[in-house]
Amino acid sequence: MLMLSIGDWFSKLKSDFILNFVQDDRYKLILSGLGSTLVITFFAAILGILLGIILALVRSSHDKMIDELRPGFGKGLLKVANFIANIYLTIIRGTPMVVQLLIAYFIIFASSNNGVIVAIIAFGINSGAYVAEIVRSGIMSIDNGQFEAGRSLGFNYIQTMVYIVLPQAFKNILPALANEFIVLLKETSVAGYVAIVDLTKAGDKIRGITFSPFMPLLAVALIYLILVTIFSRLVNILERRLRNNER
Amino acid sequence: MSDNNVLISVNDLKKHYKGGEIKALDGVTTDIKKGEVVVIIGPSGSGKSTFLRSLNLLERPTSGHILFDGIDITDKSTDINKLRMKMGMVFQHFNLFPHLSILNNMTLAPMKLLGKSKEEAEKRANELLKKVALGDRGNSFPSQLSGGQKQRIAIVRALAMDPEVLLFDEPTSALDPEMVGEVLDVMKELAKSGMTMVCVTHEMGFAKEVATRVIFMADGKIVEEGTPKEIFENPTNDRLKSFLAKVL
Ligand SMILES: Nc1ncnc2c1ncn2[C@@H]1O[C@H](COP(=O)(O)OP(=O)(O)O)[C@@H](O)[C@H]1O
Ligand SMILES: [Mg+2]
């Protein structure tokens, strides 16, 4: 029946805040966790985009020209590459991220004690599988006439892709790529499974020390939300720039 | 074949789809000599596009041979990219590169493939643009041009590679009627300048005026060929007669 007065409520909030963030410089844990999250996301995204473009090129060039290639080393190589790409995509998209991370950390790179680098590789490989499908859909969205115009001028397959198809595809898939980046950022929150103190783990650690879950977990959520919002804005600006470029 | 005026020599060319069920090309044999302006006519589905697109191997023939400058381009060891540089193509739907300015549309291939410097390539591009009365549009983007302007750019983009032959696949079919003339005028100029041209078109006026030879195709075959006079004034084949009755 007893109601806390507003003043009491505020002073409770204040002491909670001091306990969770100020005391023993606990905010530093959050900051370094945020740093790890950003580093993992950034480098995993770069790795993912590189892998994704390579995979998409392998898959779409296989589909497009395997019939017209002359038998020989090139054709064999493309077939093998396409086979590997398909296995890669199937495994990565068919298993949970956390399991992939655990396998990377405890089996494949068991001898490494640099969790962040293992995480970058694991998240990058995972993201690459999704980026590959995005890039592939982008390539397919470009009218075949563009491809033919490039080939008719004398460009080979790769040159046509690099100079003509991919720049246009990139514009079309930018929203999907941005979305994948946001998914990746949020997905890195499972990095704590392999002893990395990322943003999420940092919040959880503070909760474990202070036994006060409200502040640290909400702070973590808020930081993710702010990051995603800022990034979305930046992408919107970039999209508008790219569109204006064509007019 | 030993005639060194022959630029493209086509021998018993076949293109089958669905395991032979559809015969888009059913044994086409002809020679295209330097400086010729060959116009290909025929009903829809007769194989005109397939024939034209086989000449630069955008379609790979099922069988038969195509010699370009004496080189068999259907041979698997031929570097088709090298040969395509000498065979310009103009498409019905222009296929300009929308992400590049007009100037960059025209300089991309000369710079990347012929190793021209930016200055060289732009100088040539600007000359060509002036020839088609678009000298002031180099910095525009394709989306800012009308259909007729786009097609004129597509023609000079192909010319920027200094090709030995230009292939046209219905270059005016996607245009509003009032823009057909400006594109045909450019093509006529080209023909007069001695450019070797192979054109699929429904513009019979163009065929009569500038063609050195008209080929009539039906069912994947060359049914009749001859000078415009022979084809339009003295057609012998019944299918050609009924085709002409419809289009003239
Ligand atoms: N990719 C394809 N698959 C199956 N049939 C095709 C394909 N391309 C063309 N054809 C068929 O080949 C024939 C010739 O087509 P095309 O050369 O485009 O004719 P045209 O240009 O004279 O109208 C048509 O019957 C067409 O349906
Ligand atoms: Mg056609």
Are the CB atoms for B68 and B8 separated by under 8 Å?
yes
Chain A residues within 8 A of B157 when measuring between CB atoms = 153
Q: What does the pLDDT read at residue A5? A: 84
- Using the beta-carbon criterion (under 8 Å), do A145 and B98 form an inter-chain contact? no
List, chain by chain if needed, residues with CB within 6 Å of any ligand 1 atom.
B 17, 22, 24, 42, 44-50
Q: Would you call A155 an interface residue with chain B, using a CB distance cutoff of 8 Å? A: yes
User: HSE on the CB side for B2, CA within 13 Å?
Assistant: 0
**Spans of chain B below 70 pLDDT:** 1-4
Q: What does the pLDDT read at residue A163? A: 97
Average pLDDT for A145-165? 95
User: HSE on the CB side for B146, CA within 13 Å?
Assistant: 12
Are the CB atoms for A79 and A215 separated by under 8 Å?
no
Q: What does the pLDDT read at residue A228? A: 96
Q: What does the pLDDT read at residue A167? A: 94
Are the CB atoms for B223 and B237 separated by under 8 Å?
yes
Farthest-apart Cα atoms in chain A, separation = 85
Nearest protein Cα to ligand 1, atom 14: B47
Q: What does the pLDDT read at residue B216? A: 98
ipTM: 0.94
Chain A residues within 8 A of B91 when measuring between CB atoms = 145, 148-149
Q: What does the pLDDT read at residue A243? A: 78
**In angstroms, what CA-CA distances link B53 with A63, A187, A229, B166?**
20, 49, 50, 12
Nearest to residue B228, comparing CAs of B195, B183, B191? B191
pLDDT digits (tens, 9 = 90+) for B104-122: 999 999 999 999 999 999 9
For residue B141, give the nearest of A68, A164, A246 by CB distance.
A246
Nearest protein Cα to ligand 1, atom 16: B47
Chain A residues within 8 A of B99 when measuring between CB atoms = 167-168, 171, 245-246
Q: What does the pLDDT read at residue A4? A: 67
In whole angstroms, give the CA distance from residue A180 to residue B46: 47
Nearest to residue B31, comparing CAs of B61, B3, B59? B3
Residues around the ion ligand 2 (C-beta < 5 A): B 49
Are the CB atoms for A78 and A66 separated by under 8 Å?
yes
Average pLDDT for A54-66? 88
pTM of the predicted protein model: 0.86
- Using the beta-carbon criterion (under 8 Å), do A168 and B98 form an inter-chain contact? yes
- Using the beta-carbon criterion (under 8 Å), do A149 and B58 form an inter-chain contact? no
Q: What does the pLDDT read at residue A246? A: 63
pLDDT above 70: percentage of residues in chain A: 97
Evaluate if residue A53 carries a pLDDT over 70: yes
Are the CB atoms for A149 and B150 separated by under 8 Å?
no
Q: Residue B197: in which H helix or E strand, if any?
A: strand B196-200
Evaluate if residue A3 carries a pLDDT over 90: no
